[in-house]
Amino acid sequence: MQYIAETKEFQITEPTVVSIGKFDGLHVGHQKLVREMVRWKEKGLKVAMFTFSTPPLSLVGGRKQTVLMTNRERMELLRSAGVDYLVEYPFDQEVCHMAPEQFVKEILAGKMNARVIITGPDCHFGYKAAGDRALLEKLAPEYGYQFFVVEKERDTDGAIISSTYVRKMLEEGDVKKADRLLGYDYFITGTVTHGRSIGHKKLYPTANLLPPPEKHLPRFGVYVTRVTADGKTYGGLTNIGKKPTIQGENPVGVETYLYDFDGDLYGKEIRVELLDFIRPEMRFDSIGQLKAQLDHDIGKCREIFRDSWIVQEKGKADG
């Protein structure tokens, strides 16, 4: 896949099938759209995604806008979905003020070399987001592309799947639903760092990671997780939050106890996939009480991994 980021100076010469959007999380609705695009490969088109690069922590209405995926994670998922070109266009004043027709002419038909454009029904682009499906349809003959709309994929209860909806489910701690909407298990990756060493002295040893500031985190609490570290997969129990039992202001951390692991992960990159919500993060009156709760949580969840294929299956697949 060719990754074209932070530049406006590019020209795709191969004919393409193009879509526009944020594609945050690449949920099952996005995946349906991408599958429709990939079908055009047999007709000789390359799959090209037009997205805007999101600054690491953008402010929307004065509120920090977190994302399901960092730009790098999105790039990796789009690559494995079969995308040939990923354009992360700088989101600046010029493009914000571009007339919709000019956007179609210069960017979609021009730089992206679109012969086919596929979007959802609510696609918007250009100045004041005035460009829409009607305009794309109208301009198709003039700029020599075919235009198709993919209907919105819905959840089993009829709700339209969107990145906003997935973020909301995570905020409510409903990771099972979020995972279903995403079509894969929501994950957080990062490098294992040193905590305050209270864990291995008084509690349990844990692998701590500080998530990137833009990463959307679920409700603070304890989650059953699958952890990949050093090419191996482990069952885990992960606390996401600020450890209110421990004095002082702690940064938001993702801290995992790994089952059947005895080793050192400091400095290594790990991937923590969220499978189920166990309980909210709580403030205990003493470390002793927190320890009693951890004994209980760890014991209870060991059963989940013993009875389940979750970790073993992944282990087999990894060879």
Ligand X SMILES: Cc1cc2nc3c(=O)[nH]c(=O)nc-3n(C[C@H](O)[C@H](O)[C@H](O)COP(=O)(O)O)c2cc1C
Q: Cβ distance 34 to 81 under 8 Å?
A: yes
Compute how many residues bind ligand X; rule: CB under 6 A: 23
225 to 244, contacts with ligand ATP by CB under 6 A?
Answer: none
What x-and-dash track marks residues 297-316 binding ligand X by CB under 6 A?
A: x-------------------
Distance CA 308, CA 299 (A): 15
For residues 47 and 294, which CB has a smaller minimum distance to ligand X in the complex? 294
Q: Which two tokens stand for residue 260?
A: 């059947």
Q: Cβ distance 192 to 228 under 8 Å?
A: no
Binding range to ligand X, per CB under 6 A, among 116-124, 128-136, 165-173, 276-284: 276-284
Query: Of 214, 187, 190, which is closest to residue 275 (Cα–Cα)?
Result: 187
With binding defined as CB under 6 A, does residue 225 bind ligand X? Answer: no
With binding defined as CB under 6 A, does residue 100 bind ligand ATP? Answer: no
Contacting residue, 290, 305, 310, 311, with ligand X by CB under 6 A: 290
Distance CA 86, CA 51 (A): 8
With binding defined as CB under 6 A, does residue 125 bind ligand X? Answer: no
SS3 286: coil
* Maximal CA-CA distance, the chain: 73
Distance CA 49, CA 52 (A): 10
21 to 40, contacts with ligand ATP by CB under 6 A?
Answer: 21-24, 29-30, 32-33
Tell me how far, at minimum, the Cβ of 307 lies from ligand ATP, in Å. 34
With binding defined as CB under 6 A, does residue 126 bind ligand ATP? Answer: no
241 to 260, contacts with ligand X by CB under 6 A?
Answer: 243-246, 255, 257
How far from chain centre, in Å, is Cα 300? 29
**Residue type for position 22:** K
The CB-nearest residue to ligand ATP is: 120
Q: Cβ distance 17 to 114 under 8 Å?
A: yes
Instruction: Give the residues lining the site for ligand X (CB under 6 A).
Output: 195-199, 203, 206, 208, 222, 237, 239, 243-246, 255, 257, 281-283, 290, 294, 297
